[in-house]
Amino acid sequence: MPLVLGQARTRRFFDWLAPSYDIVNAIIFRPEWRAKVRAALLPGRVLDIGVGTGFTSADVAGAVGIDLSSEMVSRARGYLGDLVLADAMSTPFRAGSFSTIVCAGSFYYLPDPLAALRGFHRLLRDGGRVVMLGPEAWFLRPLVRTFVRRDYEALAGETDFDLVQYESLRGVASLVVMEKQNVLP
């Protein structure tokens, strides 16, 4: 059972962590992983889910960030085009608003992954993509929920996404890219 689970606990945890988050991130979030996420973005409007302090998408033109934690959002202010303090499970955006949704270190905190992906599907334009960076290593399982390739395949299959990339990052983390299937006329 992961230690950080449930919306209230997650918010409290990240509010507490926010003042030292960038110091911790500089140690555990490798620059080449961030570069891979950035290289996978499509042209167009980007939504960063669980934006934190803006570490991943701060300088992406026009990027929008959403996060549960007010302490995180206050630190991202000024770096992103727009910031929303809200739960990613129920966002205030119109359907088809984004070309790419980024979940860097955040998807596995969402309480219902299937419902989350269905929500992302609605927010993306046709052919849009979700780019995720998440933990893969078995030793992280007591701390956070961990998905492996077959989990992402199953999730994509149930939500009208194609899993177009799964890359293990030294067995510690994984980069995942899912593309929204185009609706036939």
How far is Cα 34 from Cα 41, in angstroms, rounded to an integer? 11
CB of 38 or CB of 181, closer to ligand SAM: 38
Q: Is 129 left (phi over 0), alpha (psi -120 to 50) or beta?
A: beta
CB of 104 or CB of 124, closer to ligand SAM: 104
Give min distance, CB of 156 to ligand SAM, in A: 20
| Through-space distance between the first and last CA atoms of the chain, rounded to whole angstroms | 44
Give min distance, CB of 48 to ligand SAM, in A: 6
Q: Which residues pair with 161 in a beta bridge?
A: 180
CB of 14 or CB of 166, closer to ligand SAM: 14
CB of 16 or CB of 182, closer to ligand SAM: 16
Residues 90, 91, 94, CA angle at the centre, nearest 5°?
A: 125
Give min distance, CB of 182 to ligand SAM, in A: 28
* Residues making contact with ligand SAM (CB under 6 A): 7, 10, 14, 25, 50-52, 55-56, 66-69, 72, 87-89, 104-106, 109-110
3-state secondary structure 135-165: ECCHHHCCCCCCCCHHHHHHHHHHCCEEEEE
> With contact defined as beta carbons under 8 Å apart, do 54 and 25 qualify?
no
Residue carrying structure tokens 């996420």: 37
Question: In the 8-state DSSP scheme, what is residue 65?
Answer: E
Give min distance, CB of 121 to ligand SAM, in A: 17
CB of 52 or CB of 113, closer to ligand SAM: 52
Give min distance, CB of 10 to ligand SAM, in A: 5
